[in-house]
Structure 1
Amino acid sequence: MAMVVKVRSDSKNGWILLTPFDRLLWLILAAIFVGATVIVILLEIKTKHDVESKFKHFVRNPFLIYMSDVEFLKSGASKWVVLAVTFLLSIAVQVYTANLTSILTERTTAKPSPWKDLQEIKRNSRLVGY
């Protein structure tokens, strides 16, 4: 006879904020963000001076493109890329928040098993599903 029980991990885990998404999804989201930012920079450059200044802004703060008005962007295509990536990342944030809330809520409301071990089940002649 064996028991199949849910194992609860330590709730004080420092990496719990990364658990709603697996590593592959984190890498995909990062690749989309970096790729879209590079595409926007390439769409916006007109001269060599623009390349250097845009690259310096990207190195200082890569989120600048997504957090400010898109009015400073000159190309219509770059505005659409920023709009699409912002929409995608907002959906990812909502899914992340829902998953994290579910994980944290489940940890606080999980009820302990009524049985402590196999010996208690055998002693009390409890029925076990099969």
Structure 2
Amino acid sequence: MLDVERYYRALDLEPNASPEEVHQGYLDMTWVWHPDRFVGHPRLQQKAQYKLQELNEAHECLRSQSAANGRKMGRKPKYSASPPPPRRSPSPGLSKSPTQRKPQNNDPRTVNTSRPSICFKTNPIDDWLD
């Protein structure tokens, strides 16, 4: 139990921190102690590498511990191994599938003056960017 307390102290957290707080504490401390921040200072860069190893160990231990506690408590894991739900097609008319295109004339004497079809694809990330 002494190691667990040391891990919480390394991440600058209270011992009753939630898994989300553990992860956020890890992100915060890795930002502070990342060795690339100390370029030109060899002693500090070496210390930062040591601290980063310690942070990685603490994060790995506390996450595996919280996952084991979740299984004991009968909680469902946050991420499951099931396949993702089927993607919805974008609004009709925004994209043209290859089956909807008109057949092209393959006669080499004719000049193709048609423009390529424009295809708008929606991405779930686009929703929160607006």
Q: Shorter-chain TM-score: which interval?
A: 0.3 to 0.5
Structure with more relative contact order (C-alpha pairs < 8 Å, separation 6 or more):
1
Give TM-score scaled by structure 1 length: 0.35
Q: Which has the higher helix share?
A: 1
